[in-house]
Amino acid sequence: MLSRREMRLVPRGDGAGVMFLWKGRFKADTDQRVRDFTQSLDLDWCLAEDDIRGSLAHAKMLCEVGIITREDLVLIERGLNEILEEVRSGQFVPDPGLEDVHMNVEARLTAKVGPSGAKLHSGRSRNDQVATAVRLYLRRRLKDLKLSLGGLLKNLLELSRRHEDVIVPGYTHLQQAQPISLGHYWMSHFWAFLRDGERLDFALRSLRLCPLGAGALAGSTLPLDRFMTARELGFEGPTENSLDTVAQRDVLLDVHYFCLSCALHWSRLCEDLIIYASREFGWMDLPDQFCTGSSMMPQKKNPDVLELSRGKASGVLGRFVDLACMVKGLPLTYNRDLQEDKRGLFENLNVTQSVLSVLSALLEGVQVDPDRGVKAFEDGLALATDVAEYLVMRGVPFREAHEKVGKLVRWCVDNQRSLRTLGIEEISRFIPEAAEDLLPLLDVKASVDRRTTYGGTSREQVRRQREEGERRLSAWLSDSEVPLD
């Protein structure tokens, strides 16, 4: 039971009254509309566990430097651990009248343990407290995202293996350009997403310093040990400048940029698959479980998952821009605008997490029709570069070869002939340098396998790059600088 004096310390956020945190300074009650308008519980309740972790470290340090007693610490630790349980079990129903998760936890602690709880906020401001909790939260989320991205990367490697021998058209300007191995195509997305993995690591590294102890903006007159709290919370050390610590949001923009780059990549992948699975292209088939039907047209099988993923990518960009705009022109140091930083950031993490997992699962079930893939080349025109390069190897200057082959292509188009089925006499009319040894080259398989330049589409090169990809993926997954503890 708390004494009468102690009861006065128990904060109340409900009903009328001045917010307990600053009740000394104010004569008038906070307007209810202002309470509703300024509360951020809908944004920051997910930080509860991280806030408690931060408070446990802060309390331990306060005791170590002699600001609170060992008895205080025992009570605070017991109280905070109970609150942690209440949060996890859903028993803790936060009070929006107490503005945010941080004040709710502190109020609950003081309600539980009295004056010891009221000592917890010594040398701390919500400005450094929020920044710390957000960093802890982001580190957790990014580690989960790393696993999801790792799953997608593994699936892309597997698809590349499965479809190594499948030949499909490669496009520029969405016009057939040259034949490629579908295995090579999947690897192109693999490398893009692996670079996003490096961006994720960069974002994680941006979060390596601990804001706690920066205070409201200028540090504290209390003998806080910032190195100790940083260590306790698994940070590399404390941040260097207290003003910068509470004012900056670029470490959050690094996290945003990881999400954005990922979104731009998944969006292009989705767009491709939507095209390849259309009737007109038709050589890719999406798994039924990941498609939807039409309420009216019985024949429809729609790629809604891919379209939604593409659609959600715009939101990711919008929310990145939102935070960039927010900090541009904001005077140093903390301004309340910054409370809104979490809205877009957390949403981007959620979107990225859900798209990565659903896309990864969809890819596992993608089927291809190799015959339809090759059929797309019936007119053989995608082999035109092969003919030009054949001539280059016989000493014809490339520009001249380009023109000669161009004329041959023109003739094929006008006469509805396929480049693949021409006889050598027909070819020689346009290209006197051509000999019998050109004919075996007018074949899509040969065309793919002859592109043996490093990083090219020959199956030999695709195999080599996949091996390199496997190595790079496991190195990334086990990067000791960014441990997945």
Q: What is the CA radius of gyration of the chain?
A: 31
Coil/strand/helix, residue 170: strand
Is 294 a catalytic site residue? Answer: yes
Question: With contact defined as beta carbons under 8 Å apart, do 281 and 377 qualify?
Answer: no
- Per CB under 6 A, does 269 bind ligand ARG? no
Task: Give the x-and-dash track for 40-69 against ligand ARG (CB under 6 A).
Answer: x---x-------------------------
Q: Kindly state the DSSP code that residue 437 receives in the 8-state scheme.
A: G
Catalytic: which of 89, 173, 295, 480? 173
Q: How far apart are CA 18 and CA 53, in angstroms?
A: 28
- β-strand 209-210 against 167-172: which pairing, if any? unpaired
* Tokens representing residue 195 in the block: 């670079």
Catalytic: which of 3, 278, 294, 478? 294
- Per CB under 6 A, does 25 bind ligand ARG? no
Find the helix or strand (DSSP H, E) in which 58 lies: helix 48-64
- Per CB under 6 A, does 106 bind ligand ARG? no
Select from 55, 127, 352, 458 the one that contacts ligand ARG (CB under 6 A).
127
Shortest CB 60 distance to ligand ARG, Å? 23
Q: How far apart are CA 402 and CA 410, in angstroms?
A: 12
Select from 53, 121, 126, 189 the one that contacts ligand ARG (CB under 6 A).
126
Q: Which of residues 328-367 bind ligand ARG (CB under 6 A)?
A: 334, 336, 338-339
Select from 9, 75, 130, 259 the one that contacts ligand ARG (CB under 6 A).
130
Shortest CB 170 distance to ligand ARG, Å? 49
* Tokens representing residue 54 in the block: 């931060």
Rank residues 96 and 115 by Cβ distance to ligand ARG and give the closer one. Answer: 96
Rank residues 31 and 288 by Cβ distance to ligand ARG and give the closer one. Answer: 31
Secondary structure of 218-282 as H, E, C letters: CCCCCCCCHHHHHHHCCCCEECCCHHHHHHCCHHHHHHHHHHHHHHHHHHHHHHHHHHHCCCCCC
Q: How far apart are CA 237 and CA 466, in angstroms?
A: 39
Select from 100, 196, 232, 449 the one that contacts ligand ARG (CB under 6 A).
100
Place of tokens 């997490």: 353
Is 58 a catalytic site residue? Answer: no
Shortest CB 246 distance to ligand ARG, Å? 9
User: Residues touching ligand ARG: how many (CB under 6 A)?
Assistant: 10
Query: Which are the catalytic amino acids?
Result: 173, 294
Interface positions with ligand ARG (CB under 6 A): 40, 44, 100, 126-127, 130, 334, 336, 338-339
